[in-house]
């Protein structure tokens, strides 16, 4: 008898559209291993006005590549204001009744995997699982209160801060198993003294680590099938590539500062793919400062990212050291795509549990100034062919450890342990 797994992720609607992403690949691989997997997500797309029409019902169903998606009705939310709170709250409330209705037609699951980003999905998972008499695995992809405090959205000692921490503690206590996406996230439980060894009520034996990763096969297939016409990518130059959001935490202005220092190196060019609230400002800087070695490419469809990365000479993992707590590791999808491309990586932040150090696939800078970044780019450019290829080979081999076939086997072990 096939076990039925419900995967809950508010934002998996984007995975439906892109036919890829963490829970899409989990579902795909679970099904290949003989499980039945159903993804529950919002009927809205993250930060877009686009949505999936559920008609006069609270949910709609569609099946893509044999994976059933259940779209739970909520409201459109742009930005991070009151609309976002409404969007999350309505998703939570409707999820409770949709789960009940879905069970009546399709039977109950054997297990619920409820994934953050926001904690209400995990709260719903725990509540529904209890009613159905099945286990709930809570997957924590962001330490929510900690991230909120880091961005000064709330103060830790405030009433809201204390409520958020209490809610987080309740989730960790009630979940039958916990999955963290960063290797050092269990350190957080120890820091809070919530673990049983320090007299708390959370047994760390139920905490597991399954990072984000990449579908290596799909990535390599994309390189061959989704070619992106771009004269700059094909130019005979040393391509310093950044792909991702252009907002304060990504600190892309620092790449421009490094480019300014390397302006006289005519065989080096900086190709920046992505969009965000700082793009306009950076476009203006490129123009005003005459940075002819920088090409701001704007938004790029995700399907072309593997091809773009395959044409890079070095990939920049660019963040601000101060705007996020990097001591627990990194779970950004970008890192694993960079590794899968088989090109060296320069990280502008020093991370705990460092993948770049572990797999020896690039350079990690601490508090990277533009001068440090420029120097690291020249170090990679000027190294011997053998050393350069070694870094790329290490990156590619490291990506295999984070292939979703491997990660799904880890998930299955958690599923079987709680059953």
| pLDDT computed for residue 158 by the predictor | 83
β-pairing, 111-115 vs 67-72, is unpaired
DSSP letters for 252-301: THHHHHHHHHTTT-TTEEEEEE---TTHHHHHHHHHHTT-TTEEEEE---
Classified as helix, coil or strand, 156 is coil
The set of long-range contacts for 188-194, using a CB threshold of 8 Å and a minimum separation of 24, is 188/143, 188/146, 188/328, 192/165, 194/169
Torsion over CA: 111, 115, 121, 127 (sign): positive
Torsion over CA: 165, 168, 173, 174 (sign): positive
Whether 378 and 275 map to the same domain: the answer is: yes
Beta bridge partners of 208: 179
Whether 177 and 43 map to the same domain: the answer is: yes
**Sheet (strand 136-140) strand order:** 59-64, 67-72, 36-42, 4-8, 111-115, 136-140, 177-180, 207-209
Residue 72 CA to residue 23 CA, distance in Å, equals 16
Residue 177 CA to residue 415 CA, distance in Å, equals 9
Whether 29 and 138 map to the same domain: the answer is: yes
Whether 266 and 370 map to the same domain: the answer is: yes
Residue 175 CA to residue 107 CA, distance in Å, equals 22
Structurally, the chain folds into a number of domains equal to: 2
Residue 149 CA to residue 166 CA, distance in Å, equals 14
Radius of gyration of the chain (CA): 22
Residue 162 CA to residue 321 CA, distance in Å, equals 26
Whether 200 and 123 map to the same domain: the answer is: yes
| pLDDT computed for residue 150 by the predictor | 66
Whether 202 and 348 map to the same domain: the answer is: no
Task: With 0.85 as the threshold, say if the pTM is over it.
Answer: yes
Cβ-proximal residues to 391 (8 Å cutoff; 6+ apart), any chain: 344, 360, 361, 362, 380
Whether 79 and 156 map to the same domain: the answer is: yes
Query: Nearest Cα to 8, choosing from 133, 95, 87?
Result: 95
Segments of the chain with pLDDT less than 70: 1, 147-154, 419
- The boundaries of the domain holding residue 59 are 4-213+403-418
A 10 A CB-CB count for 276 gives: 16
Whether 117 and 203 map to the same domain: the answer is: yes
Terminal Cα distance for the chain, rounded: 14
CATH (domain of 295): 3.40.50.2000
Mean pLDDT of the chain: 94
Beta bridge partners of 67: 64
Whether 159 and 258 map to the same domain: the answer is: no
Whether 269 and 175 map to the same domain: the answer is: no
| pLDDT computed for residue 402 by the predictor | 98
Whether 340 and 300 map to the same domain: the answer is: yes
Whether 308 and 264 map to the same domain: the answer is: yes
């Amino acid at each position: 008898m096939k076990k039925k797994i419900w995967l809950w992720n508010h934002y998996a609607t984007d995975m439906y559209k892109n036919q890829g992403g963490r829970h899409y690949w989990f579902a795909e691989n679970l099904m290949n291993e003989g499980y039945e997997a159903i993804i529950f997500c919002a009927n809205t797309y993250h930060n877009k006005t686009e949505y999936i029409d559920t008609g006069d019902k609270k949910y709609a169903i569609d099946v893509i590549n044999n994976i059933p998606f259940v779209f739970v009705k909520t409201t459109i939310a742009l930005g991070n204001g009151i609309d976002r709170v409404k969007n999350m709250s309505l998703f939570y409330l409707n999820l409770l009744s949709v789960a009940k209705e879905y069970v009546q037609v399709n039977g109950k699951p054997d297990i619920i995997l409820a994934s953050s980003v926001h904690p209400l999905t995990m709260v719903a998972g725990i509540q529904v699982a209890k009613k159905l008499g099945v286990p709930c695995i809570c997957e924590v992809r962001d330490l929510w209160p900690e991230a909120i405090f880091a961005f000064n959205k709330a103060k830790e000692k405030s009433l809201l801060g204390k409520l958020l921490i209490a809610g987080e503690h309740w989730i960790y206590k009630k979940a039958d198993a916990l999955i963290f996406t960063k290797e050092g996230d269990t350190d957080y439980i120890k820091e809070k003294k919530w673990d049983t060894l320090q007299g708390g009520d959370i047994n760390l034996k139920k905490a597991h680590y399954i990072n984000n990763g990449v579908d290596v096969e799909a990535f390599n297939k994309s390189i061959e099938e989704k070619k992106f016409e771009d004269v700059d990518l094909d130019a005979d130059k040393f391509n310093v590539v950044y792909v991702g959001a252009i907002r304060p935490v990504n600190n892309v202005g620092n790449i421009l500062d490094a480019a300014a220092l390397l302006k006289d190196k005519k065989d080096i060019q900086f190709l920046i793919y992505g969009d965000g609230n700082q793009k306009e400002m950076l476009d203006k800087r490129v123009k005003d400062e005459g940075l002819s070695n920088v090409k701001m490419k704007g938004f790029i469809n995700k399907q072309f990212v593997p091809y773009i990365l395959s044409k890079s000479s070095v990939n920049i993992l660019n963040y601000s050291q101060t705007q996020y707590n990097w001591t627990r590791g990194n779970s950004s999808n970008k890192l694993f795509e960079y590794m899968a491309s088989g090109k060296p990586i320069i990280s502008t932040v020093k991370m705990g549990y460092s993948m770049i150090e572990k797999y020896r696939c690039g350079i990690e800078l601490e508090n990277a100034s533009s001068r440090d970044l420029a120097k690291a780019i020249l170090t990679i450019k000027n190294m011997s062919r053998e050393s350069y290829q070694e870094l790329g080979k290490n990156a590619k081999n490291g990506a295999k450890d984070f292939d979703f076939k491997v990660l799904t086997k880890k998930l299955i072990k958690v599923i079987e342990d709680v059953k």
